[in-house]
Amino acid sequence: MRQKISVLGMALVLLATLLSGCFGGGAQNSNGEAEKQSEEAAAQTTSTTAVSAGATGFKEAPMLAELVDAGKLKPVGERLPEKDDVMVEPVAEEIGKYGGEWHYPWNGPDDKWGIGMVTEEAMFRFKADGSGVEPNVAKGYDVNAEATEYTIYLRKGMKWSDSVPFTADDVVFYWEHMLIPETFGKALYDCYYSVDPATGEKARAEVTKVDDYTVKVTFKHPNVMFLERLAIDNKWFFAPAHYYKTILPEFIGEEKALEKAKEYGFEDLKNFGVWTGYYYWLYPQRPTLRPWVATNDMNSDRFIMERNPYYFKTDTEGNQLPYIDRIVLTKMQDKSHKLLETMSGNVEASTFDFTDFTVLKENEQKGGYRVIPWTTPSWSSTGVQLNQTTKDPKLRKLFQDIRFREALSVAVDRKEVSEIITNGLGEPSQASVPAGLPNEQPGWSQQWTEYDTNRAAGLLDEIGLKWDAQKKFRTFEDGSDLTLTIYQEDTADNEKFIELVRKYYEAIGLKTDVKIVDQGSFFDLKYANEIPVTVKTVTVVNVAYRPDELVPLRVITPWFGHYGLYTSSQGKEGVKPEGDVARILEFWDKVKASKTKEEVQKWTDEIIKLHQKNQWVIGYTAPTPVLVVAKNNLKNVPQLVFSDEFRGLGHAHPAQFFLE
């Protein structure tokens, strides 16, 4: 065991170096002046679209070549964009080989984001080192000196998976008929608003078609972070107009739309719109730009996605990607089933929490796979979030009392948590911005970290919490029951940690209950503001890139609950933010109104300082890596940074994975 930890310790040193290299100056590189962005855009366009001069022509997978020979499919050169507009995807190790299946574990439709991130194709994606964005579906862009006008260039000749041309009309259609009317249940994303630096007034962007392959996004005020925020908020800034015109009630009427909904298995238009508009990659009927396309019912025991014949990328030798023929998603009962199948060598690639490191390493040779640790920008590896808007008014008042949050922090022996949960690799620490990230605050990681049950008890006394008749548990001041209910998703592996937390909390008189719910129910409960406590952490590369977990813009992170609903509904629903939470929103408006990268840095730092002051998210141990497990015959799998902003394993660009 000690030998394994030693090896991992060496890996973590290397990962720390990688983290520093990826994030040390990332925020500044991604927030350059408008003219510099324009110059970089030209360079990016060249590097991502020029086919190798040595290439004599495009090549394709044998399964597609057979269809061409049979007259069922056009030749590859006619399916790809124009030659100069084909995107060339760099390979991590070597030019790959065609064929094979990627067996991928999943839990059914509720596990939609796992495969969604793996197959995603964004208008602009984050660079491998996280320092900024680069064109992807887009060919390139220009931005004016004031950062108020972005011109986005598309790839000529590019096609949807059903062979219909992809043009600027698909971008404008998405804007006018899906984004603005919220046909898929989402309010217009924050990236499309600019803010008046003088008044704080928000103004919505305008999106217009310049020509068939050019779109212009115009802001009233500067929006220097638009492309980075677009890569977070609304990665697919497009939709197949020809498809949605056949199902949206705006075009076919409510009666026919409802008939369509029932054909898809829905009884109402609202859910029909959400699933076909937001989780579209799960539907064979819906054309896509992704490397693999759904071929059957997502509810099947084996959901299969097969290569897209019209995928717009090649490798440097002109081989159309992806290399792998299909992804086979097999339903697995739970995490232990997934772990067993992986250790048995039945999964080509998947991801695991660090808690599975020891057992995965012990079976590495037998299972014929390798464990690749990816760093994360998480604030902690263990911790809790208290919903500041929880429905129970007495709990809400308690959770909003900073003394209570400090009590929960000092009541836990972080050294024991570190040893038991992370094998000593997640050092005792407070939830805080990790070293090397743009908004790091010196000393924060040690705030409220000293184990001190006397201090915790004193704070609870100060708050006015009483004891019950048996002197076993604390009650509210009026003598009523006080129970902390921790909700956990059944896909998470936190049982051991939650039991430790329960022990510490109950040692200071706080009765603690645990409820385990499935992923879909957890999502619904979160949106209904019915999760008072959870063990989720915060994972943020840069608040300027992705404010969602730290700024209450919409319902997403349990700690701010329905403050986010208030913002996204423009005050029509939810809980009005007050105090320091309201100040966070004020500072975010200043970020949005910033004219330079220095201003962005200044105001994002102010947001982070409010988090340091209030410690709404409590952490007990420092972050540990995410484990990417890949079979030994699966090639071109790099070692990168794992984060939601970068789309998890999708950051490795799986279209260039291949089976040896």
How far apart CA 337 and CA 517 sit, in angstroms, is 18
**12, part of any domain:** no
pTM equals 0.78
How far apart CA 134 and CA 570 sit, in angstroms, is 32
Whether 317 and 457 share a structural domain = no
How far apart CA 346 and CA 136 sit, in angstroms, is 32
**39, part of any domain:** no
What is the three-class DSSP state of 533? Answer: strand
Q: Which of 188-192, 420-424, 605-609 is the most confident on average?
A: 605-609
Task: Spell out a b/e string for 539-559, using b for 16 or more CB atoms within 10 Å of the CB, else e.
Answer: bbbbbbbbbbbbbbbbbebbb
Containing H/E element for 609?
helix 597-614
- State yes or no: pLDDT of 40 exceeds 90: no
Whether 449 and 475 share a structural domain = yes
- State yes or no: pLDDT of 46 exceeds 70: no
Burial of 390 (0-12, 13-18, 19+ CB in 10 A): buried
Whether 444 and 297 share a structural domain = no
**Signed CA dihedral, 328, 329, 333, 337: sign only:** positive
Whether 605 and 505 share a structural domain = yes
**203, part of any domain:** no
Q: How many alpha carbons fall within 13 Å on the CB side of residue 622? A: 17
pLDDT of amino acid 423: 85
The CATH number of whichever domain residue 327 belongs to comes to 3.40.190.10
**161, part of any domain:** no
Whether 606 and 546 share a structural domain = yes
- State yes or no: pLDDT of 615 exceeds 70: yes
Whether 518 and 631 share a structural domain = no
How far apart CA 241 and CA 220 sit, in angstroms, is 27
Tell me the per-residue pLDDT of 402-456, one tens digit each, with 9 for 90 and over.
Answer: 999 999 999 999 999 999 999 888 999 999 999 888 899 999 999 999 999 999 9
Q: Are 197 and 268 in contact (CB under 8 A)?
A: no
pLDDT of amino acid 545: 86
Token couple for 6 = 């030693």
* Contacts (Cβ under 8 Å, ≥6 apart) of 335: 491, 493
Over residues 267-271, the mean pLDDT reads 94
DSSP state of 378: B
Whether 496 and 576 share a structural domain = yes
Q: Are 497 and 406 in contact (CB under 8 A)?
A: no
- Dihedral pair phi/psi, residue 643, rounded to 5°: -155, 160
pLDDT of amino acid 39: 41
Whether 484 and 398 share a structural domain = yes
pLDDT of amino acid 595: 85
Nearest Cα residue to 159 out of 81, 241, 50 = 81
Whether 340 and 414 share a structural domain = no
Domain with 103, as residue range(s), is 52-85+95-120+290-376+625-660
Nearest Cα residue to 567 out of 59, 283, 38, 202 = 202
**232, part of any domain:** no
Higher per-residue confidence, 496 vs 314 = 314
Q: Based on the structure, what is the number of domains in the chain? A: 2
Tell me the per-residue pLDDT of 314-363, one tens digit each, with 9 for 90 and over.
Answer: 999 999 999 999 999 999 878 889 999 999 999 999 999 888 889 999 99
pLDDT of amino acid 491: 60
**270, part of any domain:** no
For residue 105, list its beta bridge partners: 330
DSSP state of 177: I
Tell me the per-residue pLDDT of 500-539, one tens digit each, with 9 for 90 and over.
Answer: 999 999 999 999 999 998 888 988 999 999 999 999 889 9
**Signed CA dihedral, 600, 602, 607, 609: sign only:** positive
The CATH number of whichever domain residue 445 belongs to comes to 3.10.105.10
Confidence of residue 244 (pLDDT cuts 50, 70, 90): very high
pLDDT of amino acid 47: 36
Whether 359 and 436 share a structural domain = no
- Dihedral pair phi/psi, residue 405, rounded to 5°: -65, -40
**37, part of any domain:** no
Tell me the per-residue pLDDT of 639-651, one tens digit each, with 9 for 90 and over.
Answer: 999 998 899 999 9
Round the average pLDDT of the chain to a whole number and report it. Answer: 90
**316, part of any domain:** yes
Confidence of residue 492 (pLDDT cuts 50, 70, 90): low
How far apart CA 352 and CA 332 sit, in angstroms, is 14
Over residues 257-270, the mean pLDDT reads 95
Whether 445 and 577 share a structural domain = yes
Whether 435 and 298 share a structural domain = no
